[in-house]
């Protein structure tokens, strides 16, 4: 079935270039800002937008994204509201591929089958459940089989070969390689094993690999792009949103930073 993520990565491959995946927390500082940022990212050339679903116990996130989730929850952001925001983006002509980056609890509470139907109807393209390991996703995957949504899985530096092979067989859209152990957050230097780990994952699959966690600057993004199909930048973007808040030029400045990352990855 047609899917914007698949189409985007096929286009990148055909053009011989690498992609940028930008992460923001949906509803930070509010959902109107999220919609304006999404449209600005599309104009800046961002290839995939990851929308973090705010959750009260974000165990995989560092302080920057934890505070973003707190701000989003205080602004009244809900999973239903995020789906409405994506639907509004699609109605306005925005075609950037959208992945929901979430913990499983909000989806479980919404109802998995109901969520899959609602997300597809809204125009979501993919789903990554941070705290749902592949061993526990059989029933979850069945809900997605008849939809256009792609299930995206994580691979970590500590993931053994046999598990990488199993994840590679089940992953859709792209594989997200978490480049360092621990939680999300900006880092001064890159992990040293990115080249070796992406090569190992590539031996098991032709699916695109997107590398994230700790990538904070255009220079770092350019270096990582040499080893993967895409680079994920989150905390460095979210930090700018936090510092600029509701200021009139927040969207323009954050989109300008995203454009510098796009240019670095393409270069």
Q: Decide if pLDDT at 85 tops 80.
A: yes
Catalytic-role residue among 6, 28, 47, 50: 50
Q: What is the model's pTM?
A: 0.94
- Over residues 9-13, mean pLDDT: 97
pLDDT at residue number 127:
96
Share of the chain above pLDDT 70, in %: 95
Cα–Cα distance, 239 to 22 (Å, whole number): 13
CA neighbor of 101 nearest in space, from 129, 125, 73: 129
> Residue 70, Cβ neighbours under 10 Å: how many?
15
Reported confidence tier of residue 182, pLDDT bands at 50, 70, 90: very low
Q: What is the pLDDT of residue 183?
A: 42
CATH of 4-266, one of 3.40.50.2300, 3.20.20.70, 3.40.50.10490, 3.40.50.300: 3.20.20.70
pLDDT at 61: 79
Active site residue 61: yes
Choose the catalytic residue: 28, 30, 47, 61: 61
Instruction: Evaluate whether 210 touches 175 at the Cβ level (below 8 Å).
Output: yes
Counting Cβ atoms within 10 Å, is residue 24 exposed (0-12), middle (13-18) or buried (19+)? buried
If phi over 0 gives left and psi between -120 and 50 gives alpha, with beta otherwise, what is residue 169?
Answer: alpha
State yes or no: pLDDT of 181 exceeds 60: no
For residue 152, the model assigns a pLDDT of: 95
The answer to whether residue 136 scores a pLDDT higher than 90 is: no
Residue 189 is predicted with a pLDDT of 54
Q: pLDDT category, 139, cuts 50, 70, 90?
A: confident
Specify the pLDDT at position 57: 87
Length of the chain as a residue count: 267
User: Residue ranges per domain, the chain?
Assistant: 4-266
């Amino acid at each position: 079935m047609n899917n914007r993520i698949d189409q985007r990565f096929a286009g990148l491959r055909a053009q011989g270039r690498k992609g940028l995946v930008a992460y923001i927390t949906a509803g930070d500082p509010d959902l109107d800002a999220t919609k304006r940022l999404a449209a600005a990212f599309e104009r800046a050339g961002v290839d995939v937008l990851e929308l973090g679903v705010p959750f009260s116990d974000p165990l995989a996130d560092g302080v920057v994204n934890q505070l973003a989730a707190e701000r989003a929850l205080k602004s009244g952001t809900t999973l239903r509201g995020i789906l409405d925001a994506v639907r509004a983006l699609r109605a306005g002509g925005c075609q950037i591929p959208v992945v929901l980056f979430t913990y499983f609890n909000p989806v479980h509470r919404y109802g998995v089958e109901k969520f899959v139907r609602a997300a597809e109807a809204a125009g979501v393209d993919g789903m990554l459940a941070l705290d749902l390991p592949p061993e526990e996703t059989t029933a979850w995957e069945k809900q997605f089989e008849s939809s256009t949504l792609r299930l995206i899985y994580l691979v970590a530096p500590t993931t053994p070969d046999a598990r990488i092979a199993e994840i590679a067989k089940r992953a859709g859209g792209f594989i997200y390689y978490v480049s360092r152990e621990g939680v999300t957050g900006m880092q001064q230097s890159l992990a040293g094993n990115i080249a070796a780990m992406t090569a190992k994952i590539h031996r098991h699959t032709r699916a695109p690999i997107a590398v994230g966690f700790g990538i904070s600057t255009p220079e770092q993004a350019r270096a990582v792009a040499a080893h993967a199909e895409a680079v994920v930048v989150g905390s460095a973007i979210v930090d700018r949103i936090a510092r600029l808040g509701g200021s009139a030029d927040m969207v323009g400045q954050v989109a300008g930073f995203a454009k510098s990352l796009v240019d670095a990855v393409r270069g």
